[in-house]
Amino acid sequence: MITPLKKHCQWIEPSIVAKHLINSFGESGFIWLDGDGSENGRWVTLGVEPDEQICSRGLPGKENASNPFTLLRNLKPGHWTGWLSYEAGAWLEPKNSWKEDEMATLWMASHDPIFKFDLHKKILWLEGCNQKRFNSFLKWLNNLSSNKFANNDRNINKQRINIPIDKWQWITQLDEYQKNVEAIKKLIEQGDIFQANLSACCKAKAPSPILATDLYLQLKAKCPSPFSGILVGAGESLGEAIISTSPERFLKVLPCGAVESRPIKGTRPRDKNPLIDANLAADLICSPKDRAENIMIVDLLRNDLGKVCQAGSINVNQLVGLESYSQVHHLTSVIQGKLKPNKTWVDLLEASWPGGSITGAPKLRACQRLYELEPIARGPYCGSFININWDGQVDSNILIRSLIIKDSCIRVHAGCGIVADSNANNESEELKWKLMPLLKSIV
């Protein structure tokens, strides 16, 4: 545990600080862990110019590949932020087949100082341990506070990014996706698996050199969410970035060992008409299929947590609760536990990876079947943003509703949970509910 220097500063909106940080220091290595102002989306963290980075690529047996979980175990104390990709599962279950992605499997960066915002109380702190850098950034922030012109959001330069819907190339066409749904239903009928989260992907070329932050601001305006943000790689991950509007927490671990997971299963679109919107929410709550799918994943995650948590400590504090966001309604459950004294957050991560809500049940068999049906690697999609605070608290999301950027290519994935009574047409419609708000935000 580290106790950083901490300075209460004049309030400035996070988006304004973010844009001026990039204008002053560049986007490479920039982190922005954002929120929507809800209870779960209360805190915002910004950082630039990381003082240390680690990066892992490749699958086991590949030249120069390294185990991302070993790197995470060996992190120095400090404030770390980064991503872990879905295919990190290859280091835990090498007997399963895994595809290799262009993006880094793991990228983590240490930032000192960081900017911390409380959206509820409108409080901004600067936190850090390096006295020289702390003083330098404090001076920078005070100059920004005194510049009334710079403090106006309307005066921030924003590049509007436009990618027409017809410019997106579908890696999996909707008719092929429906066939894959039927293939999974047949596997379920045969007793091979019980559930699988089948995904599809589309990609497009950025129209010109872009700032990932401009893209995020467009997406944030349409799809605010509690576990959102942007990470821009540097060093070995230069040219890579992830933009997320995820509503789903994967794992949170407090320094005392308390654990929380918030799996999402079950989705309906929102509607501008309040009556139709309420009917959609009611339909989701009353759906036996969606409820069964959610409960199945709760059982899976209880089992994962049970590998490293104290006996009797695991409780389901919310089972199949309705949570509504700007574009969709979701069913969310909340599972809590307490780590065994000899276990760490990395032990929990290994016991739970990849997340049950985006794989299926049984998990490893579902991963195998998804490998056979999905044409490309998921990469950071269905992986996590991971944030480690000064005191050792760890929080992470599930990287859904996200844009993956590699040089000039932008990639978007979405998935649906398939169970025995899934309807292929309905699942492809749900896929569009999840994808279209992302694509339309940059038209």
CA atoms of 225 and 34, how far apart (whole Å): 8
Peptide bond preceding 209 in cis form (omega within 30 of 0) = no
Element holding 132 (H helix, E strand): helix 131-146
CA atoms of 40 and 325, how far apart (whole Å): 12
CA angle 37, 41, 45 (to 5 degrees): 100
- On whether the CB atoms of residues 371 and 97 are closer than 8 A, the answer is yes
Residue tagged active-site, from 265, 338, 363, 434: 265
Identify residue 193 by its one-letter amino acid code.
I
Residues recorded for the chain = 443
Q: Hey, what long-range contacts does 120-123 have (CB within 8 A, 24 or more apart)?
A: 120/37, 120/42, 122/11, 123/8, 123/11
Residue tagged active-site, from 87, 127, 240, 248: 248
Quick one: tokens of 290? 């969606």
Q: Is 307 a catalytic residue?
A: no
Helix (H, G, I), strand (E, B) or coil at 420: coil
Q: Is 62 a catalytic residue?
A: no
Phi, psi of 282, rounded to the nearest 5 degrees: -65, -40
Q: Which residues are catalytic?
A: 248, 265
